[in-house]
Amino acid sequence: MRVDIRPAIYSDMPKLTRIKQLARGETGDPNSAAFNAELRYLTAFLDERQSVFVQLVDRVPIAFCAIRECSTKPFIGYAYIKDLYVLPEWQRKGYGRKLLMHTLRTMRGKGYLNAMLDTAEDNTGARRFYERFGFEKRDIGGSSGYVTYVIDF
């Protein structure tokens, strides 16, 4: 089995949108309004020259991570993990951890010193994943229902 991680390109976007929708328990139906809204959101990352990394198993995308610079206090200048999604059938096999490692190593190479993210308070699986990875919860009195995690490189 061959596993690769590379920067995403425009033609990956529909597949990454599907990964995101399925990982969130949505339909992944390319004809739905939700799918098209998500596709526009992800495509904007590339339009704005932000980093999106795609992970492939035998050349088939199974996960992606989108990251950009944070521009809001108190995390200005942090690398901001916007999206990290692994297809349900590939979860809990170490792929998310490997992809996040690769993404953060790349950001460190670009000069970033720390990273942050927000996740839903009730997303216990993701929270456990980030905590196991080494992220620490940071209470900033942000929007209710979300928790913020940070990590220093």
Ligand X SMILES: CC(C)(COP(=O)(O)OP(=O)(O)OC[C@H]1O[C@@H](n2cnc3c(N)ncnc32)[C@H](O)[C@@H]1OP(=O)(O)O)[C@@H](O)C(=O)NCCC(=O)NCCS
Binding interface with ligand X (CB under 6 A) = 23, 84-86, 91-97, 119, 123, 125-126, 128-129, 132
Report in angstroms how near the CB of residue 94 gets to ligand X at its nearest: 5
Number of residue whose CB is nearest ligand X = 96
Nearer to ligand X, 39 or 66 (CB): 66
- Give the pairing of strands 114-120 and 79-86: parallel
Nearer to ligand X, 79 or 86 (CB): 86
- Give the pairing of strands 79-86 and 51-57: unpaired
Distance of alpha carbon 60 from its chain centroid, rounded?
Answer: 18
* Dist. CA 82–CA 70, nearest whole Å: 10
Strand, helix or coil for residue 21: helix
Report in angstroms how near the CB of residue 132 gets to ligand X at its nearest: 4
Nearer to ligand X, 72 or 111 (CB): 72
Nearest to 63 by CA among 30, 103, 36: 103
Report in angstroms how near the CB of residue 34 gets to ligand X at its nearest: 16
Nearer to ligand X, 52 or 86 (CB): 86
